[in-house]
Amino acid sequence: MKYEIKQEGRFRYIESKGGEENLVLLHGLFGALSNFEGIIRHFSGKCNVIVPILPIFELPIRKVSVTGLVDYVVDFVEFKGYQKVHVLGNSLGGHIALLYALARPDRVASIILTGSSGLFESAMGTSFPKRGDYEFIKKKTQATFYSPEVASKELVDEVFDIVNDRNKAIRVVATAKSAVRHNLGDKLHQIKAPTLLVWGKQDQITPAFVGEKFHELIGNSRLIFLDECGHAPMMEHPQAFNRHLEHFLQEVAAKAVG
């Protein structure tokens, strides 16, 4: 799928304008639009689906952090004038969604987390991969999923390019370290928005117990496990993921009206 990426001021994003409800998708460190293809295709005619391109590789180096990205999302939502948003995040994007919800609870209609960081994550292991080692990157990318074939050549190439760009690699490491420092264990009880947690049972990066811990700490939350599924349920099981998400959004809308 090809999307028109709009540029307004310092913001780059796509927007479907397909309905009244604003569904903001926040991507992780690796990959952006391709990760959300199934959600965009399913919901773009039913919701206003918005994907801001997070400036992980564009922020000034001193601002490269989870909080720098949260500030960007705060400014973006203000700039666009959205009154309420359903905010969905995968991996680092989930972490940003939670910090955004803590910073601006008045703007958040609901939260959807899938394979979110913020409590515990095991990404590249103890060392950053050697530049130029394509097979290593391919195996690491495949390990993100239960089914290795989900890691298309396009996706592996994307990750490989990031790792082999020194400037991008430094920013990935800095952002990942910032995420580990910003553990949310003592703040999640403050989240009041209805929250849907969709987790892969075989997630190796944010394992199943992480989803259970989020469920325990976020009062108004529901946890759904998908079997034969790794760190990106919306990519591995798009139909099941979209079914659960649609049902959840309908429930939230019905309660808001009632």
Question: What pLDDT score does 126 carry?
Answer: 43
Q: Which residue has the higher pLDDT, 82 or 168?
A: 82
Question: What pLDDT score does 64 carry?
Answer: 87
Q: Is 80 inside a domain boundary?
A: yes
**Average pLDDT estimate for 174-191:** 92
Question: CA–CA separation, 17 vs 26, rounded Å?
Answer: 17
109's CB contacts (< 8 A; 6+ apart) are 21, 22, 84, 85, 86, 193, 252, 256
Question: What pLDDT score does 258 carry?
Answer: 66
**Average pLDDT estimate for 95-116:** 97
Residue-wise pLDDT for 136-152, tens only, equals 889 989 999 999 999 99
Strand bridging mode 221-226 / 85-90: unpaired
Mean pLDDT (the chain, rounded): 92
Q: Is 15 inside a domain boundary?
A: yes
Q: Is 1 inside a domain boundary?
A: no
Q: Is 252 inside a domain boundary?
A: yes
H helices of the chain, where?
A: 37-43, 66-80, 92-103, 134-142, 153-164, 166-181, 208-217, 233-236, 238-257
Range of the domain at 231: 6-257
Strand bridging mode 22-26 / 85-90: parallel
Residue-wise pLDDT for 22-46, tens only, equals 999 999 888 778 899 999 999 999 9
Question: What pLDDT score does 129 carry?
Answer: 57
Indicate if the pLDDT at residue 173 is higher than 90: no
In this prediction the pTM is: 0.94
Across 81-85, 92-96, 165-169, least confident range: 165-169
Question: CA–CA separation, 23 vs 10, rounded Å?
Answer: 21
Q: What is the CATH number of the domain that holds 223?
A: 3.40.50.1820
Q: How many domains does the chain have?
A: 1
Model confidence at 169, pLDDT cuts 50, 70, 90, reads confident
